[in-house]
Chain A
Amino acid sequence: MPAARLMDEAEVRRAVTRIAHEIIERNKGAEAVVLVGIAARGDDLARRLAAEIGRIEGRTVPVGALDITFYRDDIGIRAEAPEVHETRIDFDINGWTVVLVDDVLFTGRTIRSALDALVDFGRPTAIQLAVLVDRGHRELPIRADFVGKNVPTRRDEDVRVILREVDGEDAVLVDDPVTREPATNRPGREGMRA
């Protein structure tokens, strides 16, 4: 598949480390911070950020996974009901600062859904947003608090984050829309059920 590499393994690692420091700095430590990653891949990034923050601060940061499928605004518009991933938030978010984590920030619609989903779990003190890539083209008034890399893209390009946990390596790729493979060939999330 002809795809340009926007970030390689080392760049992804440095971005995660920097975002971890920024989260600690912004929140004056990590005592009141929990991380919630948006499935798929946002949850893997959230676990990495939590490990990094834990390493820096010497304390464990709770981390959860959120599936936003049931909160999408295009259910009934797409031909098939969208595939569902696992949601696992086994801690109380009331009174905590929740850092939402996603791989790519694009239209903002996923984040809108995630905000709706999150408030069904409780009333956090604040919600912040961390993304590995911000590629622009927002359709809603949403911005990220922590960004790994800002990447100007064309609307029809396909920006993909691949991660070691799922895909075997870390990288951010942008696909050439002219010769792009069908979206169904994109690496899927296999083995969701153990």
Chain B
Amino acid sequence: MNGHLLSIHDLSADEIVRILDTAESFREVGTRVIKKVPALRGRTVVNLFYENSTRTRISFELAAKRLSADVINFSTSGSSVSKGESLKDTALTLQAMGADAIVIRHSSSGAPLTLTRWVKGSVLNAGDGTHEHPTQALLDLYTMRDRLGRLDGLRVAIVGDVMHSRVARSLSFALVKMGAEVTLVGPPTLIPPDAPAWGVRVSHQIGAVLPELDVCYVLRVQRERQRQQYFPSVREYARLFGLSRERAEMLPDGALVMHPGPMNRGVEIDSDVADLPRAVIEEQVTNGIAVRMSLLYLLLGGSGSQAAGGSADEAGAVRLPEEVATGA
């Protein structure tokens, strides 16, 4: 692995398998009485969250703590960001304090990539704008492989607001890379026009897709990212694309229902369906800690991360004037 995790495109299929296999061992650590190993003792991990988050931030925090790393949580409210500090100055400050890894969530797509030009440590993308959320995709892959035993050939539908979903992008890229068959389902206004180029199929009829699936992955309707009216009403969306109880019964035996959270019960998924045994939404959360431990361990557990940081630093030295010129 290189020194950062910015996008699923950074990873080969073999590297994804290695991340999932290593996560397997960390899940065992999570079952112990003492859920902590000394692997990253003395390392510092900073959670830099420019957007609200519960599960991703806590998951990363627990993952780093269970590896014995020191964790600093930095959110924009209550910090100097609310005084107008730029991302670059915040990053340089964290670097000066000796952060070995920065986990960043930002509303601007590409913010994590930009960060790699300024800091020596590893950068992990915890969600950037409508671009990617690679750790969510990896924990979803882990959950699917754990429950269904394979990824190759799995038939997965990703249902809902694909347009605004970084989860859908990362998950589609990752599943296609691992040989799964992905179908994006949603109203035409919420399916990105370039989707067929991802290697996925597109459908606007959820009922036609459900009987053939191994996994029905339901996306949250992200009203905070929608700048215009993409569908007439929430009720109409729920009626046409929501995973109701009747629709869930169309799924084959053994098929999973997944959701990245937080759920809008009654909108994209019925409350009853979210509580079915086949809905593995809480397992996704539990597995997320193991997968993030695996990523932190693989990125920070070798001295190679320092070398990769060094090369990023060199790139930064070259690109820095350009950043200054564009006023970044």
Contacts and interface: CB of A to CB of B under 8 A. Distances in A.
Interface residues of B, number: 25
A61 to B, nearest CB: 22
Most chain B C-beta atoms within 10 Å of own C-beta, residue among A77, A79, A116, A121: A79
Interface stretch (B110-118, B180-188, B275-283, B297-305): B297-305
Contacts of B304: 79-81
Contacts of B300: 76, 81
Interface of A is mostly: loop
B303 A76 contact: yes
A75 B301 CA distance: 6
B303 A193 contact: no
Contacts of B34: 120-121
A91 to B, nearest CB: 13
Which of A75, A78, A122: most chain B CB closer than 10 A?
A75
Interface residues of A, number: 25
B303 A77 contact: yes
Given A71-B38, A75-B39, A116-B38, A82 B25 contact: no
A80 B38 CA distance: 17
Nearest to B42: A76
Contacts of A117: 37
A87 interface: yes
Contacts of A193: 21, 24
A120 B21 contact: no
Contacts of A67: 25
Contacts of B67: 70
A141 B33 CA distance: 29
Contact of A86 (B25, B37, B43, B303): B25
B107 interface: no
Interface string A71-113: 1100111111110111110000000000000000000000000
Given A75-B39, A88-B28, A121-B32, A80 B22 contact: no
A77 to B, nearest CB: 6
Interface string B9-23: 000000000000110
From A67, A76, A116, A192, name the one whose CB has the most chain B CB atoms within 10 angstroms: A76
A120 B302 contact: no
B38 A70 contact: yes
B303 A85 contact: no
A76 B300 CA distance: 7
Interface in B155-174: none
A71 B34 CA distance: 14
Interface of A: 67, 69-72, 75-82, 84-88, 116-117, 120-122, 192-193
Interface of B: 21-22, 24-25, 28-29, 32-34, 36-40, 43, 67, 297-304, 307
